[in-house]
Structure 1
């Protein structure tokens, strides 16, 4: 439901019942309509004065902020002009010992509160019907709760938001704890599997000492093979390398990327 910020009364100028005993109905309707128009103009002028007052307050606040910013800029300009980069030097120790910058800006809090409510909205609030006096039943309650809060509770939405935030924080804490436990369990299982594998291999070796242990084939290094093939066989630094399919090719037909095929 939209919140009406300003309402001009009366909204209906010519709608209404005529009083009894009126001799000239047309004259009565004309006078009542004219009176309603004058009342509407009065309400419009009052709202216009309120609007211009809000604009004045906003402009004054903006002017104060700009004036404060201009003073800071002027002080900074004077300080910058007094600096001499050729003479003045700041040591690294002084920079580390200097306190960190801390902003003095005050953030607005409780923007929507009774103190910051507009005058027009406050007038509408004052014209509303008051809640029933249920607070007189509070002393007779066993749970010591305010009886009026069962009818209207201004802090309900704040309490609901606070409860959701606390629940979300607790859920994140539980999720981090669960991930940490899962990580520790995974490490323990991996370590256990590794120890079991090593003990099994050791047991097999003890049971069958003559069992041949398979050697893992090393990965081929193409660049190293090409560098070896760039030399003649008698000048190669190590002839015990694993034979490759290119070892049968002479040095004249080397496939090194640095030499083209002859």
Structure 2
């Protein structure tokens, strides 16, 4: 719901009931209208004075801030002009060791509070009807709660925000504790796991085939056989009818005795 900060009263100039025993109604309405106009001008001048007062306060605070900033700039300009790069050498380590600039400006807190309420809103607040005196029933309550807070509670929204912030903080604390427990459980499981035994060394075998002695749980990959040109030449030396079956793996020592007689150079 929008809140009107400044309201000029009276709003209606000619609206109103005429008093009894009026001889000239037109004259009475004219006089009441002029009086309402004068009241409107007075209300307008009052709000104008309040507006200019707020502008003066804002301009004064802005001037004070600009004045302090100008003083700091002047001091910095004097220091910069007095520096001599040929005499004073500042290392990068010294610059990093210095503390960073820290502003002394105080941040505004409790912006929406009773002390920061504008004067027109405060006047409207005092003109409102007062709440019923329910606080006189507080001594008769068993829960020791203020009876007036059931009708109006200015601290309700602050307490609601405080509960949400405390709940969010508690949720973050529980999440961090859960992460710590999970990481510690994983570390304990890794320490309790037995170490796997290393695979035995491979023994060298003769020929193109080698048997790999590995962990039986691992999948053994088939190794491609090495190509032996001399063995192929010895097989080609036979006739087609006497050649051994290609599906059978020939022995690496096959044909070594007749290698000198069956080689392509001695054919």
Q: TM-score if structure 1 supplies the norm length?
A: 0.71
How much has 1:93 moved relative to structure 2? 6.9
Label 1:212 to 1:91 Cα distance change in 2 as closer, same or farther (>3 A).
closer
Looking at CA atoms only, which structure, 1 or 2, has the larger radius of gyration?
Answer: 2
Alignment correspondent of 1:49 = 49
- Whose RCO is larger (CA < 8 A, sep 6+)? 1
Shift of 1:136: 2.1
- Counterpart-to-counterpart distance in 1, 2:134 and 2:226: 99
1:195 to partner: Cα distance: 2.9
What per-residue deviation string (whole Å, max 9, x for no partner) do you get for residues 1-55 of structure 1?
Answer: 1011001111111111111111211211111111111111110111011111111
Distance in structure 1 (CA, Å) of the matches to 2:25 and 2:169: 71
What does 1:52-201 align with in structure 2 at a 5 Å threshold?
Answer: 52-90=52-90, 95=95, 98-189=98-189, 195=194, 198=196
Instruction: Say yes or no: does 1:213 pair with 2:209.
Output: no
What residue ranges of structure 1 are gaps of 5+ in the alignment?
A: 203-209, 218-241, 245-262
User: In 1, Cα distance between the equivalents of 2:46 and 2:138?
Assistant: 42
Structure with higher helix content: 1
Alignment: residue pair count:
211
What secondary structure, in the 3-state scheme, does the structure 2 residue paired with 1:37 have? helix
Q: Secondary structure at the match of 1:104?
A: coil
Paired with 1:152 and 1:172, the residues of 2 have a C-alpha distance of 33
In 2: Cα distance, 1:145 partner to 1:84 partner: 72
Distance 2:74 2:95 in 1: 24
1:25 counterpart residue number: 25
TM-score by length of 2: 0.70
- Give CA deviations for 1:133-163 in whole Å, capped at 9, x if unaligned: 2222223333322222222111111111011
- Residues 165 and 52 (structure 1 numbering): CA distance in 2 closer, same or farther, change over 3 Å? same
